């Protein structure tokens, strides 16, 4: 005898929802996902750290900086109008810290208006309508309070939270509420750390800064160094002294005091057409002139490659001859900057 058992169909996902299970935000984000694409989008697992160089591994410009504004040592981080006395430097971890990163940043904070920031590209498109969590390690030579903020592309303050550093390494975790794409303003936003009130000078050490989609912090994402370098190269690319008479670029003399120099292809396409700066460690050379000084007449770079027109110090070069920019042994640098503004 055959026995047939009939059971009404039901949607397991709806059944779980109707039972009002106490799953927490991460569980609710998982349950409301209809497919793997939505799961990755809702939980942020397709990309963890939205920041670049949050581990302070890359310092192309310098490892020590003393000024009141501008991009300082660690790539992608900058200070905006800090008070006099602002100093930032790279320090190596000693192996006893509660984190695994090789380096951390030390900032000497003046009495007021001290800040470090990172501009973030393509923010609104993948952060819209999602919780975002900031996490980092911090330590100071005295108890210090400051603000952690998310600022939109139109420079509107979206959220501000208090942060803290004690005299031992302290882990900070801050969750920001969802904001719409319109709230974000455009595809560029800013993470801000700063003090905006009068307080005695203090030293802040900061490590492993992570901003990620989701309502809880996860372990710090550690990328291979080449990936972090390539991410940084989109916004800053520095040709540096390697301890020898490096040729930074080669070209052709166009006139007795004019030369065109190609500086090669960039490792990745830059964010915008970069500015170009050279320091005193870079000299011009041609067979006729030998080593000479120069000034940049025109920046002919694109987002894909570097190129310059130069004015050679003192005429005398032979048009048509080859020439180069080279490291003269004094720490030469050619810096391409495509900053997010």
pLDDT at residue number 301 = 97
* pLDDT reported for residue 234: 96
User: Exposure pattern of 117-133 as b/e (b: 16+ CB <10 Å)?
Assistant: bbbbeebbeebeebbbb
Which class is 64-233 in CATH?
mainly beta
Residue 142: per-residue pLDDT? 82
Q: Which helix (H) or strand (E) holds 100?
A: none
List, by residue range, all CATH 2.40.30 domains of the chain: 236-337
> pTM score, two decimals?
0.83
Mean pLDDT by 10 residues, the chain (341 residues): 67 60 65 64 68 95 76 83 71 91 85 78 83 92 85 90 88 93 84 71 88 90 94 95 78 96 96 95 95 95 97 93 92 92 75
pLDDT for the residue 32:
72
pLDDT of residue 184: 86
Tell me the C-alpha distance between 288 and 283, whole Å.
14
Alpha carbon of residue 277 to chain centroid:
20
CATH number of the domain located at residue range(s) 236-337 in this protein = 2.40.30
The pLDDT, as a whole number, for residue 269 is: 97
Give, in degrees to the nearest 5, the angle at Cα 118 between 112 and 123. Answer: 135
CB 274 within 8 A of CB 263: no
């Amino acid at each position: 005898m055959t026995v047939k058992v009939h059971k009404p169909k039901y949607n397991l996902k709806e059944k779980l929802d109707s039972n009002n299970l106490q799953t927490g935000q991460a569980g609710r984000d998982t349950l409301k996902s209809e497919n793997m694409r939505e799961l990755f989008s809702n939980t942020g697992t397709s990309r963890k750290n939205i920041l670049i160089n949050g581990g302070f591994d890359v310092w192309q410009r310098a490892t020590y900086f003393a000024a009141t504004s501008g991009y300082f040592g660690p790539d992608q981080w900058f200070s905006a109008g800090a008070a006099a006395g602002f100093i930032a430097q790279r320090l190596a971890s000693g192996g006893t810290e509660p984190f695994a990163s090789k380096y951390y940043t030390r900032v000497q904070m003046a009495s007021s208006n001290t800040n470090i920031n990172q501009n973030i590209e393509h923010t609104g498109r993948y952060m819209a309508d999602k919780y975002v969590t900031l996490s980092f390690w911090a330590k100071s030579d005295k108890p210090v309070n400051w603000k952690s903020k998310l600022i939109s592309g139109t420079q509107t303050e979206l959220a501000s939270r208090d942060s803290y550093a004690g005299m031992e390494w302290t882990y900070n975790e801050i969750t920001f509420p969802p904001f719409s794409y319109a709230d974000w303003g455009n595809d560029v936003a800013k993470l801000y750390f700063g003090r905006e009130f009068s307080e005695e000078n203090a030293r802040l050490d900061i490590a492993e800064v992570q901003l990620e989609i989701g309502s809880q912090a996860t372990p710090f994402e550690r990328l291979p160094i080449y990936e972090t370098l390539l991410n940084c190269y989109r916004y800053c690319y520095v040709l540096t002294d390697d301890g020898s008479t490096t040729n930074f670029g080669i070209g052709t003399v166009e006139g007795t005091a004019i030369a065109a120099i190609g500086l090669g292809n960039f490792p990745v396409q830059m964010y915008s057409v970069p500015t170009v700066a050279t320091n005193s460690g870079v000299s011009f050379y041609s067979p006729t002139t030998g080593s000479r000084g120069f000034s940049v007449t025109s920046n002919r770079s694109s987002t894909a490659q570097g190129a310059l027109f130069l004015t050679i110090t003192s005429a005398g070069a032979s048009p048509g001859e080859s020439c180069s920019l080279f490291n003269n042994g004094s720490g030469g640098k050619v810096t391409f900057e495509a900053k997010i503004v």
